[in-house]
Structure 1
Amino acid sequence: METPSGCGTTGTVKYICNVCGYQKTETTPAGTHTFDTEWSSDATNHWHEATCGHDLVAEQGKHEWNEQNVCSVCGYKMQYTEGLEYEKSGQGDNAELSVKSIGSATDTELVIPAYAEADGETLPVTMVGKNAFLKNQSITSVVIPDGVTIIYDRAFNQCKNLVKIVFPDTLKEIKREAFAYCEALQNFELPQSLLSLRTWSFMNCNSLTSVTIPSKVQYVTSAFANCSSLKTVAFPESDTIGSPDISAAFEGCSALQSVTLPEGMTIINDSAFRRCESLTSIDLPDALTTIESDAFAYCSRLITITLPAGVTTIEDGAFDACSILEVFNKSALKIVAGESTFGGIAANAVNVYTPSSGSSVMTTTADGFVFIKASSGWTMTGYIGEQQQITLPSSFLSNDGETVTSYTVRSDAFDQCKDLTAINVLQDNTNYSSQNGVLYDKRGSTLVRVPMGMEGDYVMPDDCRYLESTAFYNCEKLTSVTFGNSLTELSDAECLTGCYGLETITIGSGVTEINLGIFDNAENLSEIIVSDGNKNYASVDGLLYDKDVTELLYLPWEKGGELVIPNGVMSLGNLGLRENNRITSVSLPSSLTYLGYGFYYCTGLEKIEFRGTVEQWEKVKKTYVNGNPTWAEGLWYVSEVVCSDGSVEIPYA
């Protein structure tokens, strides 16, 4: 009885004794795979396909080009792009070509030849020159042949439709800004021959999601800065890599979540991962000794880090603004939470523990909420999940097995959640409530947080009396805010920090105190409305006045065109209309007695009218800057004030 062997699989033969019935089985050797004798190929490789039915290839390799751009191994003829312009350098045996420009070529899928003609000679193409394809919007893919060793500055800079690039195995250096702003460029494989990625070589390549840095690369300075979709970075494990210079290499890669560093790395250079806002943790290599300035600054979601035993230096600012960080310190550095030492890691740490002292007090739930246990109880310090609408847990299980049913939310817990559109709370939460996706205290009397991603209008409920100082922090998608009638104070100047899209603010009837600095952060503000019944403030045509409309308190940044100040106004306040460059003309009432800083830096102003006499104008108190109320960097853009009975020349300084 036999099971025959096959291609790549063994067989069996079973023997039975005819006398005693004894049985035994032997294995027969596998047959060998068979392959076609003819070559198969594509534009990059050649191989022999299996003829035995298996999905296998043999002798696969890259093409080896001769001077006719034909593979000397398989005979494949390169289908290269014709019409490219070249530039010759060197003489004799050292003569070589660089690609100078697109020339007359019309291909959108470029294939650069290994050899090309110049001055009657056929020479190897070894370089892609400076600015060769700068701002070319037609190219969608590029194949660069073996033999090319350098891609020079800005060679493919701003090729916004370039999707695919194939690099040669001979490439050693990619120069400054070579592929910067190639926003459609997708993941590629860097060759093992590569030694250097120079400044901003792939900056703002916003379709890249992962990159692996070859083991011989020694410079990655600013190479992938601001690649907004880059999620994964890996350096291979290699004893030869040493410590590549990664200064600012991944700065501003806001989606970066996974970084694998080689165990031999001793230095993390300045700004290497600065503003990597999605990075929550990173394994530092055991060989590490130095973390340079700003290396992890503004990694605002970095929640945990282990300092290896060999770390001796942490430079200034290395962990600036990492405000929810727990540190496991294996080094000899004396890091104490809250102290202004060691590059901000101490000042920003919510907890520091060592192998011999303390322990972790952090719990991160499966859905991304981060909690810290202190003597006063549990505090939610952040959210590192990816949901746009979240529900605060009524309880959670801590790492030490405690069921926690009460906690506080730190004021900056959601300050880095720019896509968060709703913060919801279940009714059984002991400390908090929510309305329409906005977070309040349990009674609804204090506004805790408007989610950063909320769009459109926010209307404060009338039973809300207070607001946290960071309640609106960086809510740049809000277009209007209405403060409720029970709110009495807008006293924090930073209240609307980062609300760049805010166009309208409505002040409730109960507000008695306003810090005018809050409006400075709403740089697109065009209208301030004061509710009827407010006893301290009024608004006319979107401008904020005192109740009696005798003093102008604030002119919104976006208010422009022809501005008419109402009759009865006596003062433009200390700020006046200064630094509003959208006003083209202004008409002032005869009641005016105090101009303040007037029109300082109102660079769009063309006309000033005073609805009173020249004599009255002369009596108006003015705060001149360099002797002139319309001064801006030495320019006097209005030369006179037109009064009811004549004009007054504005004196130059």
Structure 2
Amino acid sequence: MKLTTTRTVKEARGFLYEFLNDGTVAVVGGNPGLVGKQEIPSHFEGYPVVKIGRGAFSSSHLTEIIIPSTVEEICDGAFYWNTLLTEVRISTGVSVIGDRAFAACPNIKTISFPPSLKSVGELAFHKCINLSKVNFNNGLETIGDFAFGGCPALKQVLIPESVTEIGKSVFFDCERLMSISLPESFLKLSDGLFYKCTSLENISLPEKLEIIGQWAFKDCTNLTTITIPGFVYDIGTQAFDGCTSLTEISVLPVNSHYNTWKGALFSNDMKKMFRCPEGIKGSYEIPEGVERVKKGAFDNCSKLTSVSIPLSLKEIKGSAFYGCSKLSKITVKSSNTFFTTNDDMLFSKDMTKLIRCLGSKRKKIEIPESVTEIDEFAFAGCAKLETVKIPESVNVIGENAFEGCIGLINISLPDSLTEISSRLFFGCKNLVSVRLPSNLVKIGDHAFDGCKQLKHISIPSTVKQIGHWAFSGCQCLQQAEEVDSSGDSDRPAGSSIFES
């Protein structure tokens, strides 16, 4: 037997009310004539109004709203997409503001929270594009993901000491945010917290901070310096990527996990190099004792011209130098037993692995016969490169190896190669033709994504797997002879390799 519940909804003075099971009332909407400035009644038929219901005034024509002290919760989407709403007065009593409660209200300029407020939901004020000032009160405990994301007019924020949790990307794309004060007891900066806060110039991190999430300061283009506190033990990937003005990452001496040298971030024992700030100019000498340079360590250091590799270094990837458009020289200590350079290229000592090509202005490159592996990102961003001769000795080419080689017109891959790795030719927008290896087994995800001029490709019968979006964005591709996705093929039948 199917049980049904009925809602008891009544209307009075333009407001719609619903009686709740605990003897209280929620305002769940208003009739079409409810416009302009309105004050929500504190009681209805003698019962207290404790909630503003889910989507109650979404897309309405209110210009100003006054919320009484009896209300405890503003539910999800309660005032979502109110394009005329300019002022909101929230009385003491409200403890919860739900997800998207005031999202996409473009004319709200300021908001003050009462001391009773404990929680601000996800996307609560997302895309409130004219919100310039937020007044928090002590008592607030949590702020949800993207709560103030996309609020470009927001300039200054003071977060009270009572806050214990701030969600992901809370201030994402707040492009005018210049200063923010965080609680000293705060332990974690969430992922993407200040992503694209392009006006943020400096920030004092809390003394007890332990974790800086991935992308926490990504694309903060005006951030010049930052100091890592003593208790930080985890800094996420790309935490400072896109900080083009950052010239120094300093670390307090008491920190037992991280260290710094000439502005760059290292492990405490100075054996691992994590990040060189993107604003560093000229040359950089990796200090003696460093054994590993981590992936992306020099990413987009566009003002860097040369790097010196010490005797101690044992590991470095081609991806470490992605986006270093002015890097023209890498020197290796002659006594280093792991690396060598030859003709503007960084190799393993035995010349079997090509790690990175520095010839950003070179049009033609011939890879030595000794090479068996081309590292990931090895030629990425070599915009003037037109032709590459790859010997038959090469049997491995890493992901993104030719990404962004916009001058590359045609290429012949050796028959020794059995796999085209993911994003291998991503964004090679002038690539017209490719000769695939006769023994090819796999074409990776996005392998030719964005190759706008690619017109024809013959896929050998040996191919068993074609990755997702392998040929996405290949607008001129007229013919692709691909194997039937049956038998032992790993590609699901009917999936498109041309999806975009």
TM-score for both structures, normalised by structure 2: 0.58
2:494 & 2:108 partners in 1: Cα distance? 45
What is residue 210 of structure 2 aligned with on the other side? 291
Bigger radius of gyration, 1 or 2? 1
What is residue 573 of structure 1 aligned with on the other side? 462
What is residue 24 of structure 1 aligned with on the other side? none
Which amino acid in structure 2 is aligned with residue 348 of structure 1? F
> Are the equivalent residues in 2 in contact too, given 1:234–1:259 (CA < 8 A)?
yes
Of all paired residues, the percent bearing the same amino acid is 10
> Are the equivalent residues in 1 in contact too, given 2:100–2:125 (CA < 8 A)?
no
Mark the CA change 1:232 to 1:381 in structure 2 (over 3 Å): closer, same or farther: farther
2:388 & 2:427 partners in 1: Cα distance? 26
1:115 & 1:588 partners in 2: Cα distance? 70
Tell me the number of residue pairs that the alignment of Structure 1 and Structure 2 aligns.
398
Gapped regions of structure 1 (runs ≥ 5): 1-80, 351-361, 385-391, 394-405, 417-422, 432-440, 449-459, 476-480, 532-536, 538-543, 560-568, 606-653
Which amino acid in structure 2 is aligned with residue 100 of structure 1? V
Give SS of 1:99's match.
strand
2:447 & 2:259 partners in 1: Cα distance? 47
2:203 & 2:68 partners in 1: Cα distance? 36
1:191 & 1:556 partners in 2: Cα distance? 47
What is residue 386 of structure 2 aligned with on the other side? 484
Which amino acid in structure 1 is aligned with residue 178 of structure 2? S
1:470 & 1:254 partners in 2: Cα distance? 32
1:477-536 Cα shifts (integer Å, max 9, x gaps): xxxx99623565894422366x8xx9x9975257658785345467899997427xxxxx
1:253 & 1:522 partners in 2: Cα distance? 31
Shift of 1:266: 1.7
What is residue 433 of structure 2 aligned with on the other side? 530
Shift of 1:297: 4.2
1:420-458 Cα shifts (integer Å, max 9, x gaps): xxx8x9xxx998xxxxxxxxx9xxx9664xxxxxxxxxx
2:492 & 2:103 partners in 1: Cα distance? 36
What is residue 435 of structure 1 aligned with on the other side? none
> Are the equivalent residues in 2 in contact too, given 1:300–1:321 (CA < 8 A)?
no
1:414 & 1:160 partners in 2: Cα distance? 44
Match among 255, 260, 282 for residue 180 of structure 2: 260
Which amino acid in structure 1 is aligned with residue 14 of structure 2? G
Mark the CA change 1:124 to 1:496 in structure 2 (over 3 Å): closer, same or farther: farther
Mark the CA change 1:521 to 1:226 in structure 2 (over 3 Å): closer, same or farther: farther
Gapped regions of structure 2 (runs ≥ 5): 1-11, 288-296, 308-317, 330-343, 345-356, 368-373, 449-457, 472-478
2:86 pairs with 1:164? yes
2:147 pairs with 1:220? no
Match among 8, 21, 26 for residue 98 of structure 1: 26
Shift of 1:154: 0.7
2:191 & 2:442 partners in 1: Cα distance? 46
1:408 & 1:251 partners in 2: Cα distance? 38
Shift of 1:599: 6.5
What is residue 87 of structure 1 aligned with on the other side? 18
> Are the equivalent residues in 2 in contact too, given 1:581–1:601 (CA < 8 A)?
no
> Are the equivalent residues in 2 in contact too, given 1:201–1:223 (CA < 8 A)?
yes
Give SS of 1:469's match.
coil
Mark the CA change 1:320 to 1:558 in structure 2 (over 3 Å): closer, same or farther: closer
What is residue 620 of structure 1 aligned with on the other side? none
2:305 pairs with 1:407? yes
Match among 89, 96, 101 for residue 174 of structure 1: 96
What is residue 111 of structure 1 aligned with on the other side? 38
Which amino acid in structure 1 is aligned with residue 461 of structure 2? L
Shift of 1:261: 1.1
What is residue 508 of structure 1 aligned with on the other side? 410
What is residue 494 of structure 1 aligned with on the other side? 400
Give SS of 1:336's match.
strand
1:29-62 Cα shifts (integer Å, max 9, x gaps): xxxxxxxxxxxxxxxxxxxxxxxxxxxxxxxxxx
Shift of 1:139: 3.9
Q: What is the Cα-based RMSD across aligned positions, in Å? A: 5.7
For residues 105-504 of structure 1, the aligned pairs below 5 Å read: 105-107=32-34, 109=36, 111-115=38-42, 118=44, 121=45, 125-133=49-57, 136-139=58-61, 141-147=63-69, 149-156=71-78, 158-159=80-81, 161=83, 164-170=86-92, 172-179=94-101, 181-182=103-104, 184=106, 186-202=108-124, 204-205=126-127, 207=129, 210-222=132-144, 224-225=146-147, 227-230=149-152, 232=154, 234-236=156-158, 241-248=160-167, 250-251=169-170, 253-255=172-174, 257-261=177-181, 265-271=184-190, 274=193, 276-278=195-197, 282-284=202-204, 288-292=207-211, 294=213, 297=216, 299=218, 301=220, 304-307=225-228, 311=230, 313-317=231-235, 321-322=239-240, 326-330=248-252, 332-334=254-256, 335-337=258-260, 339-340=266-267, 347-350=273-276, 369-371=279-281, 374-375=284-285, 407-408=305-306, 448=360, 462-463=363-364, 469=377, 484-485=386-387, 488=390, 491-495=397-401
Shift of 1:82: 4.1
> Are the equivalent residues in 2 in contact too, given 1:185–1:206 (CA < 8 A)?
yes
Shift of 1:270: 4.7
> Are the equivalent residues in 1 in contact too, given 2:189–2:216 (CA < 8 A)?
no
2:204 & 2:64 partners in 1: Cα distance? 36
Mark the CA change 1:461 to 1:281 in structure 2 (over 3 Å): closer, same or farther: same
What is residue 43 of structure 1 aligned with on the other side? none
Give SS of 1:348's match.
strand
Shift of 1:556: 9.1
